[in-house]
Amino acid sequence: WLKHFLAQGDEAESAANESCLVVSSRLRPQAPSRELPFSTMPEVLSLCKGPKEAYEAFADKGAELSRKSIPKILHQSVLAGVYIGFGGMLSLTVAAGIADASKNNPTLQSFVFAALFPVNLLLILLTGGVLMTGASATVPAAVLEKKAHWSSIPKIVAISWVGNLVGAVIFALLVHYCDMNTGATAELAKKTVIKKCSKDFMKTFIKGIGCNWLVCMAVFLCGQAQDMAGKMVAIWFPISCFVAIGFEHIPANFFLLPMGLLAGADLTVWDIFIKNIVPTTLGNFVAGSIFVALNYSYAFGSLGRNNKSPILVTRCSQEDLGEPLAKNDFGLKATPASQGAPRRTWVSLLRRMTSVSRPELVKEEPKEEEGGSVFPALEGGAFRRQVSTEQQEV
């Protein structure tokens, strides 16, 4: 009886499946079947861009940066220099505290220093900061893709270099003023600056190349990841790698070298400038413009005559990539982003804010007529703006 019952159930199930197939085939015509030469996998959605899409977003980031005004680039560069100081001071303080524990194992102190240092790049890359090291790759990539003029390279690199220097030195002076550059921290700072200025020009230059190659890959991978955790991992590994190896990063040296001088290292400003700052700057620029921008333009961009990616992805923040409206909310005459920001923006903005009153919201009661309320879509009341003639024109 049980076998008979199960057999009847299987027959009913197979009949139902056949009827469903017949109905679906009538409702939707079936595509002609074709045999594929290989097995296929279903499409998988990912939170990580492919390398080609990541490079195109990398170049768009340089194009967006090249369209910014000089004050905005300098402002973000100074902030980036301060953030470099945050990470550098964290690494110095914690690594100096384990000096006794790392006497028999010096690698322990280097590991702790390298593990904590990437917090500054996390702050910079996720808040739109401008580092000279990253700009030396993104802007040349935009130039290679014909999205920016070649003159943007020296302009942005020079402005970001000065801004990073100003921000990092200011932070170092404030830390020293607060008596935080003392004791074990000061000893580690002196040890660091003496070590960085002890090599010859060519060795420091090559160490600068190795450093910024990894830093630019952190920028590349950060743009490739699409979530916060992915960006943190993409930043942490390359940055901690170059710090632990001992490569030379010019924005980091803008903070570490003054800290060593303020702590009492037997060096002068001219010594650190000739022995470290100049070769490190040149090495960082060569790494960003040639080893990253040039290589990946050949691999995925116009230098290698590659087609653009057909995948629609978000390129960058597009802060200055779009064409603004004719006038903004304050009545200022806007210009295309490619022509730069209008002059006296802040003066005009403050003048408008103090002279033009804000629109007020006034509650109006609906007026009943024969056909009902004058606001048929808003029964029971409505809000109407009272604006001046000048605001109406805006």
CB distance 115 to 87 below 8 Å:
no
Q: Which pLDDT tens digit goes with each residue over 270-325? A: 999 999 999 999 999 999 999 999 999 999 999 988 878 777 665 555 555 554 43
Q: What's the rounded mean pLDDT across residues 11-23?
A: 54
Q: Which residue bears the tokens 């020296």?
A: 154
CA distance 23 to 394: 60
Q: What is the pLDDT of residue 103?
A: 82
The CB-side HSE value for 382 (13 A sphere, CA atoms) comes to 12
Other C-beta atoms closer than 10 Å to the C-beta of 274 total: 13
Q: Which pLDDT tens digit goes with each residue over 340-387? A: 444 455 555 556 555 544 444 444 454 554 544 444 444 444 444 444
Helices (H), 28-131: 51-66, 70-97, 106-116, 119-125
Other C-beta atoms closer than 10 Å to the C-beta of 291 total: 17
Confidence grade of residue 253 (pLDDT, cut at 50, 70, 90):
very high
Q: Which pLDDT tens digit goes with each residue over 192-206? A: 999 999 999 999 999
Sign of the alpha-carbon dihedral angle for 251, 82, 148, 222: positive
Residues in the chain: 394
CA distance 352 to 329: 10
Within the chain, strands assigned E span 360-364, 368-369, 372-373, 382-386
CB distance 384 to 364 below 8 Å:
yes
CA distance 337 to 346: 17
Q: Angle at Cα 71 formed by Cα 274 and Cα 68, nearest 5°?
A: 100
Q: What is the pLDDT of residue 90?
A: 96
